[in-house]
Amino acid sequence: RKEVEQDPGPFNVPEGATVAFNCTYSNSASQSFFWYRQDCRKEPKLLMSVYSSGNEDGRFTAQLNRASQYISLLIRDSKLSDSATYLCVSDRGSTLGRLYFGRGTQLTVWP
């Protein structure tokens, strides 16, 4: 079983829609969490870090539920430019600095 599991999608939504992605992690020692965005044939880039009580950045809201070991990403008022693959990521907090990536959830926003 992968350390981080995501629904691969694809999610196809119209512009302006709200869409939510969930992700679960298996290692209770995981301490830090992130959402990365990856455009087609490009490198992953950080979308947002996930703080313990959840956090918001414009149209994006990330939440963490340690008891259930899941992380969510909510995108409001979807734009065409939000079309990408979203990667859920965890960090166990070891000094090795290794991150654990989910396989990604594909989002397509249509006009």
Partner 1 sequence: NAGVTQTPKFQVLKTGQSMTLQCAQDMNHNSMYWYRQDPGMGLRLIYYSASEGTTDKGEVPNGYNVSRLNKREFSLRLESAAPSQTSVYFCASRPGQGLYEQYFGPGTRLTVT
Half-sphere exposure of 8 (CA within 13 A, CB side): 1
- Give which of 56, 57, 45 is closest to 86, Cα–Cα: 45
Output the smallest distance, CB 107 to partner 1, in A: 15
Output the smallest distance, CB 89 to partner 1, in A: 8
Give, rounded to a whole angstrom, the gap between the first and last alpha carbons of the chain.
37
Cβ 21 vs Cβ 6: under 8 Å = yes
Output the smallest distance, CB 6 to partner 1, in A: 9
Q: Using CB under 8 A, which residues numbered 61 to 80 contact partner 1?
A: none
Nearer to partner 1, 75 or 87 (CB): 87
Query: Is 31 an interacting residue with respect to partner 1 (CB under 8 A)?
Result: yes
Query: Is 101 an interacting residue with respect to partner 1 (CB under 8 A)?
Result: yes
Query: Is 104 an interacting residue with respect to partner 1 (CB under 8 A)?
Result: yes
**81 by DSSP, 3-state: which?**
helix
Interface contacts to partner 1, rule CB under 8 A: 8, 31-32, 34, 41-46, 49, 51, 87, 89, 91, 93-99, 101-104
